[in-house]
Amino acid sequence: MEAMNQVGNGGVGGNAPGLQCDGLPVPIVALLRNQRPWWQTVSPAESFVIRIALIVMRLAATWLQLRLGTWHCKSSIAPSQSSVDATYTKIAPRYRRAHTLATNGRDVWWRREVAWEVAPFLKRWFKEHPMSRPVLLDLCTGTGLSLAEMLRIFAFEDVSVKAIGIDINEAMLQEARSSLDAYRRDWCLDSQRTVEFARADASDLLGRRTRLADFRYFEPRSVACITSICGIGGLTEPIESFRQQLEVLEDEGMVVVVDMHRPIPDLASTWPPFHRRTWPAFEQAAWEEVTVPHVLQKLWAWRDPTLMLHAIPFVTIFGDSSGHHYGFRLLSRQIRTEPWWFGLPVMSMAKIVAQKTRITLDEARLRKETLRRIQGALREDG
């Protein structure tokens, strides 16, 4: 959060008068305005209860780390590609179970929610371009769980699609491929829906940096829709990835990104026995003292993706061949805290839906300036 302080103020404290938040995304401003440590916002008795709850949650995270064999992994604020790779190679066979446990099974609903978002878009796209099925690219697809849930909805909604799941980790892809026959049998019709998995780097989709034989690369304007679910927090170059996503997307193509998000106090959730009041201090404490250091960094070799999510609408490219600037039009943004085990409100999530669109030179300049400020904060975050 130190970094968040810097985003909008160029050195002015979070609550100080003159906070320069103009042009920054609303959620970042909301977080900037709430810079107090959580224990200063509650009574000593409440602080005691929260600390006990944190100990229990830390024990749960430690148990999961022991089960997955990632106990010895060092926590890192900005994971390197090699540490991300080593973690996923290790947990690939147990990934599905671990992810279900760590998210209380809510992950299935995040995946389906993305599919409900994407299905009408793909249907409309196919109607307007009937010569070829729209390509859906699922980034950081892991063991393919998201595509499995998406295909289930696409079959239900009779959507035509060519789905491609990409991941950089061979062990995760092996798991995905071993389920491929089942996916095809259950949800695919060759003439309407196909699915494949390929090795690719989400930050080098066009192959500008490498040209490896076992990697898949994509042509500019070849993809109608890009999804990523719990995928961006491990990217070492997230902004470059968004730029390349803009390039491989067709004009008016869509992106849907779902990931963890730092809780916003004004949007705090309730807990089942006490539905009449929220407890923002508890959500903040759980995020800062358990979710980020123990779950994101240590268990998944991940980092806090909050700032990256809000950078998406400010990423721009210049198309040499077309001579136009492009960016994302934000279609919707959702931030909410989901119930974890025992209904505890400690899983704060965000979903960003955006569409590739042509922008003017002035708009591109403005967006670049805001992106520069967010990138500064990202660097501060590590």
Ligand X SMILES: C[S@@+](CC[C@H](N)C(=O)[O-])C[C@H]1O[C@@H](n2cnc3c(N)ncnc32)[C@H](O)[C@@H]1O
User: Is 14 or 231 the residue whose CB approaches ligand X more closely?
Assistant: 231
Please answer whether residues 8 and 24 qualify as being in contact, where contact means their C-beta atoms are separated by less than 8 angstroms: yes
* Nearest-approach distance from CB 109 to ligand X, in angstroms: 12
User: Is 260 or 268 the residue whose CB approaches ligand X more closely?
Assistant: 260
Question: 135: closest CA among 291, 47, 254, 232?
Answer: 254
The three state secondary structure string of 321-377 is CCCEEEEEEEEEEEEEEEECHHHCEEEEEEEEEEEEEEECHHHHHHHHHHHHHHHHH
* Nearest-approach distance from CB 326 to ligand X, in angstroms: 22
Strands 345-359 and 324-339: antiparallel
Question: 159: closest CA among 225, 204, 252?
Answer: 225
* Nearest-approach distance from CB 167 to ligand X, in angstroms: 4
User: Is 28 or 153 the residue whose CB approaches ligand X more closely?
Assistant: 153
* Nearest-approach distance from CB 180 to ligand X, in angstroms: 15
- List the structure tokens of 91: 């947990």
* Nearest-approach distance from CB 252 to ligand X, in angstroms: 24
* Nearest-approach distance from CB 198 to ligand X, in angstroms: 10
DSSP conformation class of 219: -
Q: Burial of 297 by CB count in 10 Å (0-12 exposed, 13-18 middle, 19+ buried)? A: buried
* Nearest-approach distance from CB 334 to ligand X, in angstroms: 17
Please answer whether residues 134 and 162 qualify as being in contact, where contact means their C-beta atoms are separated by less than 8 angstroms: yes
Cα of 197 vs its chain's centroid, Å: 19
User: Is 229 or 255 the residue whose CB approaches ligand X more closely?
Assistant: 229
Strands (E), the chain: 135-139, 161-167, 193-199, 223-229, 249-260, 270-271, 274-278, 317-319, 324-339, 345-359
User: Is 25 or 305 the residue whose CB approaches ligand X more closely?
Assistant: 305
User: Is 10 or 69 the residue whose CB approaches ligand X more closely?
Assistant: 69
Interaction site with ligand X (CB under 6 A): 84, 88, 99, 140-142, 145-146, 167-169, 172, 201-203, 229-231, 234-235, 300
Q: Burial of 88 by CB count in 10 Å (0-12 exposed, 13-18 middle, 19+ buried)? A: buried
User: Is 9 or 103 the residue whose CB approaches ligand X more closely?
Assistant: 103
* Nearest-approach distance from CB 133 to ligand X, in angstroms: 22
User: Which residues on neighbouring strands pair with residue 324, listed in sequence order?
Assistant: 319
Q: What is the length of the chain?
A: 382
User: Is 38 or 300 the residue whose CB approaches ligand X more closely?
Assistant: 300
**Dist. CA 330–CA 77, nearest whole Å:** 28
